[in-house]
Amino acid sequence: PYYVDINQNLYLEAFLHSSDSNLVLFLDTCVASPTPDNFTTVTYDIIRKGCVRDSTYSTYYSPYGHIVRFKFNAFQFIRHSPVVYLQCELVVCRAYDYSSRCYQGCLTRSKREASA
């Protein structure tokens, strides 16, 4: 566990351990939950499908593609325990493969036109 105060900045870093230097990391989704085993019922999206959902979220520069750095402000769920669990999904891609998920950024689902 990592103990912080409400609204304190949390700094996180994900590091890909690989001998292949042509791999890059992309933070696709990061979700918070008041329970460690349920990330679908009561959740809070920090980032979802590459789209920032929390206004306190920001990325930090990394000179290496295999390292992702970001931060957001600590919070707690109302009427729940003061514990918050994080589940983040990262994507590994080939460097400079601009058709890969890592280079697509925020994916917003396009709305379909309703038929008569």
CATH number at residue 27: 2.60.40.4100
- Let me know if residue 111 belongs to a domain: no
- Let me know if residue 56 belongs to a domain: yes
Range of the domain at 60: 8-96
Please enumerate in sequence order all residues whose Cβ is within 8 A of that of 27, keeping only pairs 6 or more positions apart, or say none: 14, 47, 50, 59, 68, 70, 88, 89, 90
How far apart, in whole angstroms, are the C-alpha atoms of residue 76 and residue 44? 10
- Let me know if residue 79 belongs to a domain: yes
- Let me know if residue 57 belongs to a domain: yes
How much is the average pLDDT of 10-18? 94
| pLDDT tens-digit series, residues 74-86 | 887 777 678 889 9
Q: How many domains does the chain have?
A: 1
Whether the pLDDT of residue 110 is over 80: the answer is: no
- Let me know if residue 114 belongs to a domain: no
pLDDT at 113: 58
Name the β-bridge partners of 25: 92
pLDDT at 111: 54
- Let me know if residue 105 belongs to a domain: no
- Let me know if residue 12 belongs to a domain: yes
What DSSP character marks residue 101? G
Tokens of 59: 């990325």
- Let me know if residue 29 belongs to a domain: yes
pLDDT at 91: 96
